[in-house]
Amino acid sequence: MENTKTIYDIAKEAGVSASTVSRVVNDRPGINENTRRRVRELLDKYNYSPNEAARGLVNQSSRIIGILIEDIRISHHTESAYIIEQEMTRLGYTCITLSTGDSPERKAECIQILTKRRVEGVILMGSMFGTEAVKQSIAEHMARIPVVIVNGLLSLPNVCCVLADEEQGVKLCTELLIRKGKRRLAFACEACTPSAANKLSGFVSAMTQAGAGEDKLRIYKGCETGSADLAPEHTLLAGQELTRRILEEHPDTDGIIYAVDLLAIGGLRELARREIAVPEQVSVIGIDNTLYGKICTPPLTTLDNKLVDLSRTASRLLLDALEGRQTARQTRIGTDIIERGTT
């Protein structure tokens, strides 16, 4: 830290007491206009800036909120973090945004960091925060502050959840493909996150209703225990690899639903490599409505899970809680299918 002026320095030079300066800084009423002006001039002259740490200490309020994301490089999380940061900054809060990575240990470390900084509220982004290990950390370290989890479930008294109905969404996607005459459908996801599990049940539910037996379900999972590498590049490769496996084991597959857009785009690559026509031979659907899906060829049909709405809602909920208003424990938002060239 450096030697910024304190209210005492200003006070001395203005020939008043520190409390007077404090009052001027905080625009408190009941101060002689002349004194106020004199103090203001000095404040300006020295570019005085109040020390928020000291302020927070005496006010018992840090005006900091935490945003925990698995990996900010994942494009829908980037967007969400952006929205929340803008919103909270506008309201005078400072955000500490941390990419936690996928291990529960790292998540716990990040929770510790936020705790030390005495954040007043937290937003958790992603279904991976809805696991037992994380729940424990939250319960231990953040029991007394409002927490909002986006696209995850966490049953704790101080946590409220806002989620897209992805199960229903994927069900509709599956039904769309069936309506188009595709029957030998596959579902692919990279990591077994709770979110992926939801999507999967939407798929299973639609398939079962359409008369597919449990044994005929083509379900492909990248790895069993969360993803090892969250970098977008890796997801792309995983999409190729999963698609390769699907096509080798079930060459007659005529439609694939991928848990995220980037996986689907990896899939498109593999399909192109094998000269399989999309959507004529194989239809493809992704999830997240990312820009990637917009620019690939053919443009990707995708499930818009409304991350933008979710993020906005999340910041509003957090704000409500911070200001003592009652908030819904769970908010659900519907999804939309954006139909483009791959179906």
89 binds DNA (CB under 7 A): no
**The one among 44, 47, 60, 211 contacting DNA by CB under 7 A:** 60
* Residue 74 near residue 263, CB atoms below 8 Å: no
Distance CA 140, CA 228 (A): 27
Kindly state the tokens that stand for 51.
Answer: 């020390």
**The one among 15, 143, 223, 330 contacting DNA by CB under 7 A:** 15
Residue closer to DNA, measured from CB, 7 or 204: 7
Distance CA 219, CA 243 (A): 11
Helices and strands (H, E) in the chain, number of each type: 13, 12
Under 8 Å CB-to-CB from 274, ≥6 apart: which residues?
Answer: 247
| Helices marked H in the chain | 7-14, 18-25, 33-45, 52-59, 75-90, 104-116, 132-141, 166-179, 194-209, 232-249, 261-273, 291-295, 307-322
72 binds a copy of itself (CB under 8 A): yes
Nearest by Cα to 232 from 26, 115, 78? 78
Instruction: Tell which positions 22-41 bind DNA, by CB under 7 A.
Output: 22-23, 25-26, 28, 30-36
* Piece in contact with a copy of itself (CB under 8 A), picked from 30-38, 57-65, 186-194, 201-209: 57-65
Give the pairing type, strands 121-125 and 147-150.
parallel
Here's the x/- map for DNA, 174-213, by CB under 7 A: it reads as ----------------------------------------
Q: In angstroms, give the least distance from the CB of 23 to DNA.
A: 6
73 binds a copy of itself (CB under 8 A): yes
78 binds a copy of itself (CB under 8 A): yes
221 binds a copy of itself (CB under 8 A): no
| Contact set with a copy of itself (CB under 8 A) | 1-4, 47, 49-54, 56-57, 60-62, 71-73, 75, 78-79, 81-82, 85-86, 89, 94-99, 112-113, 115-118, 120, 140-141, 144-145, 232-233, 236, 265, 269, 291-292, 294-297
